[in-house]
Amino acid sequence: MSTLPIKLKIHYYGDAVLRRRSRPVEGVGPQEMQIFSQMEEVMRCAGGVGLAAPQVGLNKQLVIVDVGEGPVALANPRILKKWGSAVVEEGCLSLPGIYVKVRRARKIKVMGLNEKNEKIVMVAMDLLARALQHEIDHLRGRLIFDYANFFQKMRLKKRLKDLKARLHALCLPDCCRQAATK
């Protein structure tokens, strides 16, 4: 089994990797399984409910979410259908301390490859649907900040600038130190 050369860590606002469109993976093999495992560890350590590969510096279409019902890991996830909508305030591990009200579907049908490299289609509702949509946004280079209206963006700009400077100064080497930025 191949190993990842480095321990994964969260990348923060200002890092160009967060704005890139992620590349699909050819399938889920040993390396992707290892990435899923490390992503889950980073997500739990940081106290999140979801994480996408770009958030740990990888240009791959991989996401993992766990809203309390067990982890759901998907490669190349694609939303097939959406139902309903709700506006809920969201945070993001890559934007610590920043919260934005985001309108998302209440229920979605999503397709992707699971950890066994099997093509699956699942229906997700409520928090699971929201978390999956949030992480899939990351695969397209989209952040919660992008959902803010003009006035919200103006209010958030200074906070984002301060966040970027603070995170740059800290150069956090480990996902568990992320809590120090809150």
Q: How far apart are CA 136 and CA 21, in angstroms?
A: 10
Asked if the structure places residue 10 within a domain, the reply is no
Whether 135 sits among the annotated catalytic residues: the reply is: yes
HSE (CB half, 13 Å, CA atoms) of 14? Answer: 15
8 lies in some domain: no
Is 121 inside any structural domain? yes
Q: Do the domain assignments include residue 170?
A: yes
pLDDT tens, N- to C-terminus, the chain (182 residues): 445 557 899 999 889 999 999 999 999 999 999 999 999 999 999 999 999 999 999 999 999 999 999 999 999 999 999 999 999 999 999 999 889 999 999 999 999 999 999 999 999 999 999 999 999 999 999 999 999 888 888 888 878 877 777 766 655 445 444 443 43
- Report the CATH number that the domain containing residue 163 is assigned in CATH: 3.90.45.10
The single residue of 32, 40, 118, 135 carrying the catalytic annotation is: 135
From first CA to last CA, the distance across the chain in angstroms is 37
Assess if residue 44 is contained within a domain: yes
Q: What is the pLDDT of residue 176?
A: 44
Q: For the chain, how many structural domains are there in total? A: 1
Cα–Cα distance measured from residue 136 to residue 72, given in angstroms and rounded to the nearest whole number: 13
Q: Find the domain containing 167 and state its range.
A: 16-181
Do 109 and 128 touch, CB atoms closer than 8 A?
no
pLDDT at residue number 150: 87
